Chain A
Amino acid sequence: MSKKTLLNSKDIEIILHRLACQLIENHNDFSDTVLIGLQPRGSYLSERLAQLLAKDYAIKDLKSGVLDITFFRDDFRRRDAPLAATSTEIDFLIEDKKVIIIDDVLYSGRSVRAALTALQSYGRPKNIELLVLIDRRFSRHLPIQPNYRGRQVDAINKEKVLVTWKETHKKDAVYIEQR
């Protein structure tokens, strides 16, 4: 199994700043906008972006939450390993809000499909956008594309894209692994 570094921590920092600026371009002061990180891995990216927007770009009272999609997946009982749920923390209504779904890697698009259904439990948003750090082209099962992407990757199906964060692995990085 070989492992190749795709992005190092400096690359990721630059990308996060770019994504933050792109968000500000479209959402101004975020008064109508909420960030929703997909559990478990999208929540780190979401949290990081929220911190960056608050600290470096003076966005005040940014609303952000994390969403668990376990019970909305379409592969329940079809996987070998059982699915373990994580927590959902959305302590605001998304009725009439602009929602930005945030995840680390966009691959088949099925998680995002599940997230779109799950979000309906919290009201009818004005619109929903998708932000991902890594967009794996050519691997989509569903017609889902990101509005904001950190980096587009042409990884083949045998390869695995792994994102690590300072919070969990002591290092921000993105790797491509040969399986």
Chain B
Amino acid sequence: MDQLSVEHLLGIKYLNANDIDLIFKTADHFKEVINRPIKKVPSLRDITIANLFFENSTRTKLSFELAEKRLSADVINFSAGQSSVKKGETLIDTVNNILSMKVDIVVMRHGNVGAGVFLSKHVNAKIINAGDGTHEHPTQALLDSYSIREKLGTVKGKKIVIIGDILHSRVALSNIFALQLQGAEVKVCGPTTLIPKYISSLGVTVETNLQKALEWCDVANVLRVQHERMDINYFPSTREYTQLFGINKEILDNLGKKIVIMHPGPINRGVEITSDVADSDQSIILNQVENGVAVRMAVIYLLAQQIKR
């Protein structure tokens, strides 16, 4: 078992339950490492990793970079804004040029769905998908499940509701796959315009009433309203969205049980979630960020293990 069944991390849908278990067990060890006085191990000192971000990112990019550096890998960074992509270079050319500099692993975020899969077929390196368009964001889903496992002991049998913009969310799709692989029950909740038409074919249920969804769940994963991906108006106003789907302290206090609140960031404070909820003891938002580094270290370590010279 001690090895992943896949050669790249392109999406959760390519993984099996054993892979997730292995990633989490490895992440446990790295979590201990990053809490040592000296937080670095030399495992990947002969590995070079390129972080290619064709789309904006703060948290994911920093988290990957930190994970790579904690493993002693050499890191090069690339942001599309300042690159030859602007001059018309194709994706394969860009990446092959970077690989000529002897890069072993590529971490890529791209606006196009399937960019990672495409790349994995055409270039000779390990590919880690750090988000491809509205498709998948596997490391985010892994760190979300890892955080639930840490908080509640297990993911199996738990009820998780994903609230908000499901239509444009790669976090939602990867989370659905990851949670179901681990035996959790998943519900999505949001305005009907932001819920994909065939979502029930994935085996999830839909709830449009926030109150009912929260009463049902153990964990609420609240997503950001992604204004930048919305070319038309999916709901009348931000104010109306907040009134119908915004989570505030009053709603939580009246539930009669303590549910866990998660958010992949960045938060629109006062829109999908109020500040007092985001900063409350029910929220594990900052734990998610810490766990992100450990989980990404585990993914990189396990993929690097497969590289033979």
Contacts and interface: CB of A to CB of B under 8 A. Distances in A.
A85 interface: yes
Interface string A103-141: 000000000000001101111000000000000000000
Contacts, number: 51
A87 interface: yes
Interface in B55-107: 71
A71 B39 CA distance: 12
Contact of A121 (B3, B28, B37, B301): B37
A84 interface: yes
Contacts of A73: 43
Interface residues of A, number: 22
A77 B38 contact: no
Interface string A81-105: 1111111100001000000000000
B197 interface: no
B123 interface: no
B26 interface: yes
Nearest to B44: A76
A72 B43 CA distance: 6
A83 B25 CA distance: 13
A77 B32 contact: no
B307 A71 contact: no
A88 B32 contact: yes
A77 B309 contact: yes
A120 B2 CA distance: 27
Nearest to A71: B41
Contact of B307 (A68, A72, A77, A88): A77
B38 A121 contact: yes
A84 B302 CA distance: 10
B29 interface: yes
Interface string B9-34: 00000000000000000101100110
Contacts of B44: 76
Given A68-B29, A85-B29, A117-B42, A122 B36 contact: yes
A70 B165 CA distance: 42
A87 B156 CA distance: 24
A122 B32 CA distance: 12
Interface string B273-309: 0000000000000000000000000000100110111
Main secondary structure of the interface of B (DSSP, over half): loop
| Size range of the chain B interface in the assembly | 20 to 34
Contacts of A68: 29
B305 A83 contact: yes
Contact of A77 (B26, B36, B308): B308
Given A77-B304, A77-B305, A121-B36, A84 B41 contact: no
Given A77-B309, A88-B32, A117-B42, A93 B2 contact: no
A72 B129 CA distance: 27
Contacts of B37: 93, 121-123
Contacts of B307: 77
Contact of B33 (A71, A82, A83): A71
Most central of B28, B301, B307 by chain A CB within 10 Å: B301
B40 interface: yes
Nearest to A84: B2
A81 B306 CA distance: 10
Contacts of B71: 71
Contacts of A118: 41
A82 B42 contact: no
A82 B308 contact: no
Interface string A54-84: 0000000000000010111100110001111
Contacts of A123: 37
Nearest to B297: A71
A87 B29 contact: yes
A10 B294 CA distance: 45
Given A68-B29, A71-B42, A82 B305 contact: yes
Given A70-B29, A84-B2, 11 more contacts: A71-B29, A71-B42, A76-B43, A77-B309, A86-B29, A87-B28, A87-B32, A117-B42, A118-B41, A121-B37, A123-B37
Counting from the closest, the 3 A-B pairs by CB-CB distance are A71-B41, A121-B38, A85-B29
Interface of A: 68, 70-73, 76-77, 81-88, 93, 117-118, 120-123
